[in-house]
Chain A
Amino acid sequence: MRNRFVTADSQRRRASLHPLFSVCFRAFRVFRGWIETTEYTEGTRNTRTLAYITLASLWLGGLFAVAAQSDGSQQNKTGRGGTFAITNSRIVTVSGGVIENGTVVIQDGKIAAVGADVAIPAGAERIDGKGLSVFPGMIDAGTNLGLAEIGQGANATMDVAETGSMNANAKAILGVNPHSSHVNVTRVNGITTVLSQPSGGLIAGQSTVIDLNGSTQGDMVVVPAAGLVINFPRISTFGGFNPGAGPQVVDFNEAVKRRDTQIEELKTAFKKAENYGRAKDAYAKDKAIPYPATDTRLEALVPYVRGERPIIFTAERERDIRAIVKFVSETKVKGIISGGQEAWKVADDLKKNNIAVIYTNIYNLPVRDDDNYDFLFEAPAKMQQAGVKFAISTGDGGAEVRDLPYQAGIASAFGLPKEEALKSVTLYPAQILGVSDRLGSIEVGKMANIVVTDGDMLEPRTNVKYLFIEGRLLPLTSRHTELFDSFKDRKESKALIP
């Protein structure tokens, strides 16, 4: 991995100028357009000259304003680095218990010290944490954040589902918009890291783990290719929607056949990728053999079919999860389940095959009318009792990812112990995504993704007071706080009389 902390600052400064420049420039063009389309007569000449002078001074003024502005646009508020010490606070380390009155030191983007009695480096900026709690930033292991801005009515902002069914080479990290307004809205609620994943077709593409801060995808990336997303074929009798006639139903046996064919397609693709990988390896060792042609889709599959990186299989029902377990054990890949409504029913098989679950169903309704009303609220507790490794995720496109703490809390209201609920949105997703060496708890050496709150992080009434991502102290602003500030004191103005 590249060094994230050397180049970031300079990039941020450069990029931060851009949006205001463009706003100024647009205003300049509009104003100039207005002047030039005004009918030109002797009488208007003076007005027009005056307008040009005004325009010039506005333009210069705009330039000075840009120069004075260090943060740039709303989406580009990337905070400031430095050495920080959060003192006298309740530190919920997640991995090593709670320190009732301790200090966390942040230096060079990392957690430099944690404890009841630690030395504060000279020159550190002190943050009085009296009455506050310190938590690791939360991690949502199942989102489309940055790939999906506005679902309905703005298709141009959607980059979630590629066309076609075999898209192993599609990489979420290249589609994530660092300036999505979902980024700031999400992080000010304490979620500092997400898995952003593509979702279309059979093999949807490669997901990415990103931190919610940065001007470029390079700034944000934690793991560029974190897991291949496969919408595992399921038995579905849904046969499309026929306008006028409503949804069509496919014969059940037909649906089973359709599912089996798709699994065979998947196995064939895996076989091809294995062979491809072997051919490339063989050529690397012996240049005398014919050069095997490059296939970008197969190339992308290789690390996953070899079990070097995990595959995220989406599935909800018991029978589909069992089919995945079988597939994983046959192909010897590294599997993760995303969705997982009935995963607890497959606990033994999941444990035996070391398959973890990213549970995305707190805000969903039970499928069957006669399911217990709390069927999907209870599932995490059942997984925990059965010893299945799991994380809780919103499974959201981006806008509602900020509700991650509440989803974990609801699972706790329905049986999941509080500490486990907290782990299910911090340490567990970090472990499942293979980043627990860097994220998920407050430990020396980990990235300083830290949330300071005035209470239990999972409670909706709790406020985030300070937020650090990779050691940068971030402003607690977002599209929402800015609209709030713009309108909160507005008085009634002129009404239109048509």
Chain B
Amino acid sequence: MKTFTSLIIVLLLSLAANAQTRNEVLIKNATVLTASHGTLENTDILIRNGKIEKIGKGLSAGAGAKIIDATGKFVSPGIIDAHSHAMMDAINEGSLSVTSMTRIRDVLNPTDIAIYRALAGGVTAANLLHGSANAIGGQNSTVKFKYGRPIEEFPIADAPPGIKFAMGENPKRSSQTIQPGQTLRYPRTRMGTLEVMRDAFVRARDYKQTWDNYRAKKTNIPPRRDIELEPLVEVLEGKRLVHAHGYRSDEHLNLLLLADEFGFRVATLQHGLEAYKIAPEIARRGTGVSIFADSWSYKLEAYDSIPYNAYILWKNGVVVSINSDSDERIRRLNLDAAKMMKYGGVPEEEALKMVTLNPAKQLGIDKRTGSIEQGKDADIAIWNAHPFSIYSRVDMTLIEGEVYFDRSVDIQKRAEIAKERETLEKLDINKAPSSGGTQPRIPAEKRLKDRDEADLQRLEGDNR
């Protein structure tokens, strides 16, 4: 009996030990692009409980650990997109000019295929932003792309909250045709856009004052809660990051001056395709800029956009990130970063930072992700070649040590999926109308999101 008990104990103990090593992943013999301290050849990365435990040569893991042989492969930090609308069932609440009460986290769809496709491009985290239909838009959501997991696990819990602002052509609705009977929405000019912002911050400052007075017991009557102004008070208090969509340098500079006036820092200028014209002003305020690598000319206010933007900003000491704002482009941000070496000559690691560590800094999550460093989350992409090479491909994407994309598994499953499709197509409900089936029903929002339909995109109001 005694032997039996001790046997049980030994068994339990070994199970516990196993449970621990089962939480281990060892990536072996890779070329590691750390994005923070250079490139390490023939290097191993030991991951334990989702964190990077150790980086070095000849590391070993416990029994039961997942071993990934990365010989001949390149490992980079997972790519972070500082401007995305993936997995959002709605993008714009365009009715008002200030919609700070709306929250992106209320409209997230964890099954959006765009997430998987982004993972297949090495992307592990993204800043999901409200659209640019209003001077002050909704609250963002900073997420990790944990495809297949429940929605609660997507948002990064300790990421500082943010809010979308927008300037220029979109908030003044310059490309929107006013239908008969429809009222015009203020603002219609860049002058009005700034006044909407100023007015909102004046109201937020007053609102804050009423609460300060109440908390200081100057009055016993509690102020009425205002969910429009609450997020703006957080901006004034430096607790909420402002991500400001805009193109022309003059209007972005005016926003920086407005922020000076109200005493807050703008976290990022989004797009900022003319930011190179005011690089020193941006640098001095510690504002980041999140840009397209080389998009231009698709709208009037993008006509002075140049691919040297990143280089000029970087040279001035601005934290620059390169974003996609697109479910398509998000799949190839590594190549967008590579282009920055060509246009002006950003050094390799600085260019890599623009899609990893820099967006993490801009989103306030750089303590946990964005580079391959001990203690950080194991958010990692494994490539078959240098990610800046056009011939590279993602083999595997890990978030917190879990594999969320594996190309070999994807390929294995293809036959299975094709068979499933075939079976489904044969079901009565899915018969083609010409063979007596009913008309397929496509949800309106699904069609709206289909960015292949250029006409729809235009009608919806492009968010770029």
Residues on A lying within 8 angstroms of B by beta carbon are 149-154, 181-182, 237-238, 241, 243, 246-247, 249, 251-253, 256, 363-367, 369-370, 372-374, 398-400, 402-403, 405-406, 409-410, 412-414, 418, 456, 458-463, 479-481, 483-484, 487-488, 490-492, 495-496, 498
Check if B234 is an interface residue, CB within 8 A of chain A.
Answer: no
Check if B341 is an interface residue, CB within 8 A of chain A.
Answer: yes
Check if B19 is an interface residue, CB within 8 A of chain A.
Answer: no
Q: 25 interchain pairs (CB within 8 A)?
A: A149-B297, A152-B462, A153-B169, A154-B299, A238-B447, A249-B439, A256-B434, A367-B452, A373-B410, A399-B297, A400-B295, A409-B391, A410-B332, A412-B391, A460-B342, A479-B306, A480-B306, A483-B304, A483-B306, A483-B308, A484-B344, A487-B276, A488-B276, A490-B279, A496-B254
- Chain B residues with Cβ below 8 Å from A418 are 391
Q: Is the CB of B257 within 8 A of A181?
A: no
Q: Is the CB of A409 within 8 A of B390?
A: yes
CA distance A412 to B393 in the complex (A): 10
Q: Is the CB of B298 within 8 A of A151?
A: yes
Interface centre among A154, A461, A496 (most CB of B within 10 A): A461
CA distance A406 to B297 in the complex (A): 19
Q: Which residue of B lies closest to A153 (CB)?
A: B300
- Chain B residues with Cβ below 8 Å from A370 are 113, 417, 421
- Chain B residues with Cβ below 8 Å from A369 are 113
Q: Is the CB of B297 within 8 A of A398?
A: yes
- Chain B residues with Cβ below 8 Å from A403 are 294
- Chain A residues with Cβ below 8 Å from B154 are none
- Chain A residues with Cβ below 8 Å from B458 are 152
B13 to A: closest C-beta gap in Å: 43
Q: Is the CB of B308 within 8 A of A480?
A: yes
Closest 8 CB pairs of A and B: A409-B390, A153-B300, A492-B280, A399-B297, A152-B299, A246-B444, A252-B433, A484-B308
B305 to A: closest C-beta gap in Å: 9
- Chain A residues with Cβ below 8 Å from B338 are 459-461
Q: Given A153-B174, A363-B328, are A462 and B301 neighbors across the interface (CB < 8 Å)? A: no
A403 to B: closest C-beta gap in Å: 8
Q: Which residue of A lies closest to B405 (CB)?
A: A373
Check if B389 is an interface residue, CB within 8 A of chain A.
Answer: yes
CA distance A101 to B232 in the complex (A): 65
CA distance A483 to B306 in the complex (A): 7
- Chain B residues with Cβ below 8 Å from A181 are 297
B273-289 residues with Cβ-Cβ distance < 8 A to A are 276-277, 279-281, 284
Check if B225 is an interface residue, CB within 8 A of chain A.
Answer: no
CA distance A456 to B338 in the complex (A): 14
Q: Given A246-B448, A247-B444, are A152 and B281 neighbors across the interface (CB < 8 Å)? A: no
B349 to A: closest C-beta gap in Å: 14
B271 to A: closest C-beta gap in Å: 14
CB within 8 A of B308: which of A237, A402, A488? A488
Q: Given A152-B298, A252-B433, A253-B433, are A413 and B392 neighbors across the interface (CB < 8 Å)? A: yes
- Chain A residues with Cβ below 8 Å from B389 are 459
Q: Is the CB of A414 within 8 A of B390?
A: no
Q: Which residue of A lies closest to B455 (CB)?
A: A241
B335 to A: closest C-beta gap in Å: 6
Q: Is the CB of A373 within 8 A of B297?
A: no
CA distance A408 to B459 in the complex (A): 31
- Chain A residues with Cβ below 8 Å from B315 are 488
Check if B120 is an interface residue, CB within 8 A of chain A.
Answer: yes
Q: Is the CB of A487 within 8 A of B393?
A: no
CA distance A490 to B284 in the complex (A): 14
A41 to B: closest C-beta gap in Å: 35
Beyond A253-B434, A480-B306, A498-B257, 11 extra complex contacts between A and B, CB < 8 Å: A150-B300, A153-B301, A238-B453, A252-B439, A363-B328, A365-B328, A365-B452, A410-B335, A460-B342, A488-B344, A495-B257
Check if B376 is an interface residue, CB within 8 A of chain A.
Answer: no
Check if B9 is an interface residue, CB within 8 A of chain A.
Answer: no
B434-464 residues with Cβ-Cβ distance < 8 A to A are 434, 439-440, 442, 444, 447-448, 451-453, 455-456, 458-459, 462
A161 to B: closest C-beta gap in Å: 11
- Chain B residues with Cβ below 8 Å from A410 are 332, 335, 390
CA distance A253 to B301 in the complex (A): 43
Q: Is the CB of B296 within 8 A of A247?
A: no
Interface centre among A373, A488, A495 (most CB of B within 10 A): A373
Q: Is the CB of B312 within 8 A of A488?
A: yes
Check if B179 is an interface residue, CB within 8 A of chain A.
Answer: yes
Q: Which residue of A lies closest to B447 (CB)?
A: A247
Q: Given A372-B414, A484-B312, A495-B257, are A463 and B174 neighbors across the interface (CB < 8 Å)? A: no
CB within 8 A of B281: which of A249, A402, A492, A498? A492
Q: Which residue of B lies closest to A372 (CB)?
A: B414
Q: Is the interface of A mostly helix, strand, loop or mixed?
A: loop
CA distance A412 to B335 in the complex (A): 14
- Chain B residues with Cβ below 8 Å from A247 are 444, 447-448, 456
Q: Is the CB of A399 within 8 A of B440?
A: no
Q: Given A370-B417, A492-B281, are A463 and B342 neighbors across the interface (CB < 8 Å)? A: yes
Q: Is the CB of A480 within 8 A of B307?
A: yes
Check if B186 is an interface residue, CB within 8 A of chain A.
Answer: no
Check if B8 is an interface residue, CB within 8 A of chain A.
Answer: no
CA distance A233 to B40 in the complex (A): 55
B174 to A: closest C-beta gap in Å: 6
A399 to B: closest C-beta gap in Å: 4
A83 to B: closest C-beta gap in Å: 30
CB within 8 A of B295: which of A399, A459, A487? A399
Q: Given A410-B390, A460-B339, A480-B308, are A154 and B279 neighbors across the interface (CB < 8 Å)? A: no
Q: Is the CB of B433 within 8 A of A364?
A: no
Q: Which residue of A lies closest to B179 (CB)?
A: A243
- Chain B residues with Cβ below 8 Å from A243 are 179
Check if B303 is an interface residue, CB within 8 A of chain A.
Answer: yes
Check if B403 is an interface residue, CB within 8 A of chain A.
Answer: no
- Chain B residues with Cβ below 8 Å from A456 are 390
B9 to A: closest C-beta gap in Å: 48
Q: Which residue of B lies closest to A484 (CB)?
A: B308
- Chain A residues with Cβ below 8 Å from B312 are 484, 487-488
Interface centre among A152, A364, A413, A414 (most CB of B within 10 A): A152
Check if B60 is an interface residue, CB within 8 A of chain A.
Answer: no
Q: Which residue of B lies closest to A363 (CB)?
A: B328
Interface string of B297-336 (1 = CB under 8 A from A): 1111101101110011001000000000001110010010
- Chain A residues with Cβ below 8 Å from B169 are 152-153
- Chain A residues with Cβ below 8 Å from B297 are 149-151, 181-182, 398-399
CA distance A492 to B285 in the complex (A): 12
Q: Which residue of B lies closest to A460 (CB)?
A: B338
Q: Which residue of B lies closest to A245 (CB)?
A: B444
Check if B71 is an interface residue, CB within 8 A of chain A.
Answer: no
Q: Is the CB of A492 within 8 A of B284?
A: yes
- Chain A residues with Cβ below 8 Å from B421 are 370
CB within 8 A of B117: which of A373, A462, A491? A373
Q: Is the CB of A461 within 8 A of B341?
A: yes
- Chain A residues with Cβ below 8 Å from B456 are 241, 247
Q: Which residue of A lies closest to B114 (CB)?
A: A365
CA distance A237 to B438 in the complex (A): 14
Q: Is the CB of A152 within 8 A of B300?
A: yes
Check if B211 is an interface residue, CB within 8 A of chain A.
Answer: no
Q: Is the CB of B120 within 8 A of A373?
A: yes
Check if B374 is an interface residue, CB within 8 A of chain A.
Answer: no
Q: Given A249-B439, A484-B308, are A413 and B342 neighbors across the interface (CB < 8 Å)? A: no
Interface centre among A243, A365, A459 (most CB of B within 10 A): A365
CA distance A458 to B433 in the complex (A): 45
- Chain A residues with Cβ below 8 Å from B434 are 252-253, 256
CA distance A35 to B381 in the complex (A): 65
Q: Which residue of B lies closest to A316 (CB)?
A: B452
Q: Which residue of B lies closest to A252 (CB)?
A: B433
- Chain A residues with Cβ below 8 Å from B329 are 363
CA distance A463 to B341 in the complex (A): 10
- Chain B residues with Cβ below 8 Å from A458 are 390
B449 to A: closest C-beta gap in Å: 10
